[in-house]
Amino acid sequence: MNNAIYGIHHVTAITSDPQRNIDFYVNNLGLRFVKLTVNQDDPSSYHLYYGDELGRPGTILTFFHWPDAPKGHRGTSEVFATSFLIPKSSIHYWINRFTSKQIKFRGPYKRFDNEEVITFYDPDGLELELVAHKSAEDKDIHVWKEGPIPTEQAIRGFYSVTLSEEGYERTASVLIDELGFIPTHQDGSRFRYEIPSKESVSQKEDIGGANIVDVLCLPYIQQAIIGIGSVHHVAYRTPSDKQQKTLRHNIVRAGLNATPVIDRFYFHSVYFREPGGVLFEIATNPPGFTVDETAEDLGTHLVLPPWLEPIRRDLVEVLPPVRSPKKDEITK
Ligand code: ZN
C-alpha cells in the first residue's frame, strides 16, 4: 500500500476576471488571499491563491487568469465539484449568507449518512460545495481570523473533490494502487475513495483531512471542455521530495506519462493525466507561501519567483490592476 499521499494539496481553476474572483472568495467565502503572483508557464497572466491563514496544503484553491480561454463546458473527465468543509452547526449561517448576498445555491441535501451539502457556483460558473460534517469540529485553529466570517462558521479547508468519469474503474485503480486511496462508500453512480488518516502525524507536518475523492460515473454525457469556470487540475499532497520521487517512479512504472519534477517555488510538482482524462498533480507540502512574504503580508503584493524579477516592469505593464482585499490598494 502506497503511504505517501496525505490528501488534496490544491485545486486550480480558471477565471476570466481576477478582481471579481478576489472579491468573491475573500469577501463572500472568507478565504484568505495568500498569494498574488503570475502563471509560471504564461507570466503575462495572474495566478491567484486562496487558503487558510497560511495557505496550508489541503486548503489551497488557485486560479489561472485566462480571460481569452473558451467558456468551460461541463462533462466527463474533469473535476466536477470542489467541496469545502464547514461545521454542522453553520449550515443556516451559510444559507442566510448566500441568500443575503444573492448567491444562488441548492440544498442542503444529504449525502451518504453523515453529510449535508450545499451546492453553489462562483461568478465564472465553477461548481462548489459546502459540506457540513463532524470532522470540522476540531479543525478551527488555522482559520483566517481577520476575514469576514466568524471562526465558528468559517470554511475549514477542502473536504473533497468529485471527478466525473465515463467509467470509474481505471481512475479507481490509479487512486488506489498509485496514490493510496481506499474505496469506502458507494451510492448509485458515486464511488468514494479516502486516504486513511495518519494518526502519528502532527498538525504542523500536515493539517489532516481533505482526503476524499468521489468519482461520479456519467457514461451518457459528453466529455468536458476545460475553460473559464472549470477546474484545470487537482493536486495531491506529499510531505517530502523523497516521497514525491517514489510516487513519480511508481506512476511511470504503471505506464502513465508523468512530467519531471517542476519547481513551482511554493511547492514542487509532478503532473500526469489519469486514465479517465483528469489532470492530476503531486505537490510537496514544503516550502509553502511564507518562502517569499511574511505571514502578515501574504497576498498584499505582486510577488514573482526570482527568475521572473528581471522582467517585473514588463509584466506589470500587461497585467490588469487588482485591489488587495486587505489594504484596499492597487497591489502592483
Ligand atoms: Zn497545481
pLDDT in tens, 38-65: 998 899 999 999 999 999 999 999 999 9
SS3 of 158, please? strand
CA of 327 to the centre of ligand 1 (A): 27
User: Is a pLDDT exceeding 50 seen at residue 188?
Assistant: yes
- C-alpha 207 to ligand 1 mean position (Å): 18
Residue 300 makes CB contacts below 8 A (sequence gap 6+) with 36, 293, 324, 326, 327, 331
Q: How far is the CA of 283 from the centre of ligand 1 (A)?
A: 7
Q: Which has the closest alpha carbon to 12: 161, 217, 149, 218? A: 161
| Residue 108 CA to ligand 1 centre (angstroms) | 30
User: What confidence tens digit (pLDDT) does each residue in 61-104 have?
Assistant: 999 999 999 999 999 999 999 999 999 999 999 999 999 999 99
Q: Give the pLDDT confidence score for residue 254 in this predicted structure.
A: 95
* DSSP E strand stretches across 133-264: 158-165, 182-187, 190-194, 212-217, 231-238, 262-263
pTM: 0.96
Phi and psi torsions of 180, nearest 5°? 85, 15
Ion ligand 1 neighbours (CB, 5 A) are: 12, 235, 281
| Residues 231-255, mean pLDDT to the nearest whole number | 96
Place of cell 514542487: 268
146 vs 31: CA distance, rounded Å: 10
Whole-number pLDDT of residue 248: 97
Distance (angstroms) between ligand 1 centre and the Cα of 239 equals 16
Measured in Å, residue 12 CA sits from the centre of ligand 1 at: 6
